[in-house]
Chain A
Amino acid sequence: MDLAFTKEEQAFREEVRQFFRDNVPPDTRRKMVEGRHLSKDEMVTWWRILNKKGWGVSHWPKQYGGTGWTSVQHYIFNEELQSYPAPQPLAFGVSMVGPVIYTFGNEEQKKKYLPRIANVDDWWCQGFSEPGSGSDLASLKTKAERRGDKWIINGQKTWTTLAQHADMIFCLCRTDNNAKKQMGISFIVFSMKSKGVTVRPIQTIDGGHEVNEVFFDDVEVPIENLIGEENKGWDYAKFLLGNERTGIARVGVSKERLRRIRDLAGKVESSGKPIIQDPAFREKLAACEIELKALELTQLRVVADEGKHGKGKPNPASSVLKIKGSEIQQTTTELLMEVIGPFAAPYDVHGDDGSNEAMDWTAQIAPSYFNNRKVSIYGGSNEIQRNIIAKAVLGL
Chain B
Amino acid sequence: MDFDLNEEQRLLKESIDGLLTDSYDFEQRKKYMKEKGGWSKAVWLKLAEQGLLGLPFAEADGGFGGGGVETMIVMEALGKALVLEPYLATVVIGGGFLRHAGSDAQKAAHVPGIIDGSKTLAFAQLEKNSRYDLFDVSTTAKKKGDGWVIDGEKFVVLNGENADTLVVTARTKGERRDSSGIGVFLVPAGAKGVTKKSYPTQDGLHAADITFTGVEVGADAAIGNPDDSLALIERVVDEARVALCAEAVGLMDESLKTTVEYIKTRKQFGVAIGSFQSLQHRASDMFVAAEQARSMSMFATMANDFENAKERSNAIAAAKVQIGKSLKFVGQQAIQLHGGIGMTMEAKIGHYFKRLTMIENSFGDTDYHQRRVADAGGLV
User: What is the interface of chain A mostly: helix, strand, loop, or mixed?
Assistant: helix
Kindly identify, within residues 361 to 380 of chain B, every residue whose CB is under 8 Å from any CB belonging to chain A. Answer: 370-371, 373-375, 378-380
Q: Give every chain B residue within 8 A of A293 (Cβ-Cβ).
A: 296, 299, 318, 322, 379
Q: Which residue of B lies closest to A4 (CB)?
A: B1
**Complex contact A1–B291 (CB within 8 A):** no
Contact A1 B380, CB 8 Å, known A294-B292, A389-B284: no
Q: Which residue of B lies closest to A3 (CB)?
A: B302
Give Cα distance in the complex from A386 to B280, angstroms.
Answer: 7
Stretch from A56-64, A255-263, A340-348 that touches the partner = A255-263
**Complex contact A286–B4 (CB within 8 A):** no
Stretch from A30-38, A140-148, A298-306 that touches the partner = A298-306
Stretch from A116-124, A191-199, A316-324 that touches the partner = A316-324
Mask, B1-36, CB within 8 Å of A = 1, is 111110000000000000000000000000000000
Whether A27 is near chain B, meaning CB under 8 Å from some CB there, is no
Q: How far is the CB of A273 from chain B (nearest CB, A)?
A: 16
Give Cα distance in the complex from A279 to B287, angstroms.
Answer: 31
**Complex contact B4–A324 (CB within 8 A):** no
Q: Give every chain A residue within 8 A of B264 (Cβ-Cβ).
A: 395-396
From B3, B281, B371, A279 is in contact (CB under 8 Å) with: B371
Give Cα distance in the complex from A59 to B294, angstroms.
Answer: 29
Whether B330 is near chain A, meaning CB under 8 Å from some CB there, is no
Contact A290 B287, CB 8 Å, known A301-B3, A386-B281, A395-B260: no
Whether A285 is near chain B, meaning CB under 8 Å from some CB there, is yes
Whether B111 is near chain A, meaning CB under 8 Å from some CB there, is no
Whether A136 is near chain B, meaning CB under 8 Å from some CB there, is no
Q: Give every chain A residue within 8 A of B4 (Cβ-Cβ).
A: 1, 304, 308
**Complex contact B284–A386 (CB within 8 A):** yes
Q: Which residue of A lies closest to B9 (CB)?
A: A1
Mask, B295-324, CB within 8 Å of A = 1, is 110110111000000000000001001100
Q: Give every chain A residue within 8 A of B263 (Cβ-Cβ).
A: 396
Whether B116 is near chain A, meaning CB under 8 Å from some CB there, is no
Whether B275 is near chain A, meaning CB under 8 Å from some CB there, is yes
Q: Which residue of B lies closest to A305 (CB)?
A: B3
Q: Give every chain A residue within 8 A of B370 (Cβ-Cβ).
A: 283, 286-287, 290
Q: Which residue of A lies closest to B283 (CB)?
A: A394
Whether A125 is near chain B, meaning CB under 8 Å from some CB there, is no
Give Cα distance in the complex from A220 to B179, angstroms.
Answer: 80
Contact A290 B322, CB 8 Å, known A283-B374, A308-B4: yes
Contact A289 B380, CB 8 Å, known A1-B69, A3-B302, A305-B3: yes
Give Cα distance in the complex from A391 to B2, angstroms.
Answer: 28
**Complex contact B295–A396 (CB within 8 A):** no
**Complex contact A286–B2 (CB within 8 A):** no
The total number of A-B Cβ pairs within 8 Å is: 143
Mask, B27-48, CB within 8 Å of A = 1, is 0000000000000000000000
Contact A317 B291, CB 8 Å, known A5-B1, A301-B3, A389-B284: yes
Q: Which residue of B lies closest to A262 (CB)?
A: B378
Q: Give every chain B residue within 8 A of A262 (Cβ-Cβ).
A: 378, 380
From A5, A319, A396, B283 is in contact (CB under 8 Å) with: A396
**Complex contact B380–A387 (CB within 8 A):** no
Kindly identify, within residues 292 to 338 of chain A, every residue whose CB is under 8 Å from any CB belonging to chain B. Answer: 292-295, 297-298, 300-301, 303-305, 307-308, 316-317, 319-320, 323-324
Whether B285 is near chain A, meaning CB under 8 Å from some CB there, is yes
Give Cα distance in the complex from A390 to B260, angstroms.
Answer: 9
**Complex contact A396–B280 (CB within 8 A):** yes
Give Cα distance in the complex from A297 to B294, angstroms.
Answer: 9
Kindly identify, within residues 231 to 281 of chain B, every residue whose CB is under 8 Å from any CB belonging to chain A. Answer: 260, 263-264, 274-275, 277, 279-281
**Complex contact B285–A386 (CB within 8 A):** yes
Q: Which residue of A lies closest to B282 (CB)?
A: A386
Q: Give every chain A residue within 8 A of B379 (Cβ-Cβ).
A: 286, 289-290, 292-293
From A323, A387, A391, A396, B288 is in contact (CB under 8 Å) with: A323
Q: Which residues of B contact A (CB under 8 A)?
A: 1-5, 69, 260, 263-264, 274-275, 277, 279-281, 283-285, 287-288, 291-296, 298-299, 301-303, 318, 321-322, 370-371, 373-375, 378-380
Q: Which residues of A contact B (CB under 8 A)?
A: 1-6, 9, 72, 255, 258-259, 262, 279, 282-283, 285-287, 289-295, 297-298, 300-301, 303-305, 307-308, 316-317, 319-320, 323-324, 383, 385-387, 389-391, 393-396
14 A-B pairs with C-beta separation under 8 A: A286-B370, A286-B378, A289-B318, A292-B379, A293-B322, A294-B292, A294-B293, A297-B299, A298-B295, A319-B287, A386-B280, A390-B280, A390-B283, A396-B275
8 residue pairs, one from A and one from B, having the closest CB atoms: A390-B280, A297-B295, A286-B374, A389-B284, A386-B284, A3-B302, A289-B379, A294-B292
